[in-house]
Amino acid sequence: MTEQKPNPGYTATDQMVISAAREIKDHDIVYVGVGLPMQAGLLAKNMHAPNATIIIENGIVRANLFPIPMATDTLGSQAFADQLSGLFYVMCLGQAGHISTGFLGAGQVDRFGNVNDTCVGDYRKPIHRWPGSGGGNDIMSFCHRTIIILEQDKRRFLEKVDFNTCPGYFDGKPGRREDVGLPPNTGPTAVITDLGLYGFEDREMVLKSVHAGVGVTLEKVKAETSWDLKVAPDLKDTVPPTAEELRAYRERIVAVRAAFGPPPGR
């Protein structure tokens, strides 16, 4: 697992998005947010999950394919959908338990799967501000499975998040979600980063595999984690992208995104 493969023909980001796409099963009802979640959702639909239904916050419900959009709501993501409604409607679908899978980006995530999309430091005097919940809190509150995707870095992988925008399992004690009024059988089930894949056992994040194909080691993962990380006894190397997955990702996602150009202000 610690073997270095300097030129595997794909990057850690490729692995992250492709691993995320694998989490989507055919016929899943998937709520996707902007950025990496949208990339993963559309990649899955282009490969092994053609019958997945994609739900987008502004009121878009569609089982048919569409080109990856620059933002969540574009003429392309709207046009020829199965249903166009509004935010209230699609969130009611979630609240009533009809959305199987949620995909969420994160500014910070912690040991018990709580996600911060709000601020670094104190809320009243933040060191850094993100745009806030958007639909993130709603997704994490409602979906049967929520998958969190982010680039891993010690400052973003914390024992406890600075601000709990989207509660996971709080302090990890049993029943916390139900106690505060969150629906049963919901919460984060996986975390996918550019270093490894994680699941949850007894509400605590557990490392399942490392992206050994791009040279990631367990030591590297631990170095980018701020708590004493629980590691699965049968820790594996992440299954590398197949040629077919890489081709779909590059043709359908990377190439289309490149055509947008870089956003201003970056």
Interface ranges with another protein (CB under 8 A) = 57-60, 70-75, 78-80, 84-88, 91, 94-95, 118, 123, 128-138, 141-142, 163-167, 170, 176-183, 260-261, 263-266
AA identity, residue 188:
P
Q: Shortest gap between Cβ of 173 and another protein (angstroms)?
A: 13
Clarify whether 244 is annotated catalytic.
no
Shortest Å distance, C-beta 56 to another protein? 8
Say which of 3, 23, 57, 151 is annotated catalytic: 57
Shortest reach from residue 133's CB to another protein, in Å: 4
Question: What distance in Å separates the CA atoms of residue 66 and residue 84, rounded to the nearest whole number?
Answer: 14
- Cβ proximity to another protein: between 69 and 241 the closer is 69
Whichever of 124 and 243 has its CB closer to another protein, that residue is 124
Q: Give which of 28, 176, 72 is closest to 187, Cα–Cα.
A: 176
Q: Compare residues 23 and 138 and give the one whose CB is closer to another protein.
A: 138
What residues contact 265, with CB distance under 8 A and at least 6 apart? none
Taking a C-beta distance cutoff of 8 angstroms, is the pair 30, 101 a contact?
A: yes
User: In the complex with another protein, which residue's Cβ is closer, 12 or 29?
Assistant: 29
DSSP codes of every residue in 42-109: HHHHHTT-TTPEEEETTTEEESS--PPPSSSS-HHHHTT-SEE--HHHHHHHHHTT---EEEEE-SEE
What letters, b where the CB count within 10 A reaches 16 and e where it falls short, cover 19-38?
A: bbbbbbeeebbbbbbbebbb
Q: How far is the CB of 86 from another protein (least distance, A)?
A: 4
Looking at residue 214, the DSSP 8-state letter turns out to be G
Beta-sheet pairing, 204-210 with 196-201 = antiparallel
Give the closest residue to 134 by CA, choosing from 35, 36, 33, 60: 33
Question: Residue 103 CB, nearest distance to another protein (Å)?
Answer: 15
β pairing state of 126-129 and 119-121: antiparallel
Which residue's CB is nearer to another protein, number 1 or number 92? 92
Query: CB 156 → another protein: shortest distance, Å?
Result: 16
- Between residues 181 and 233, which has the closer beta carbon with respect to another protein? 181
At 111, which helix (H) or strand (E)?
Answer: none
Annotated catalytic residues are 57
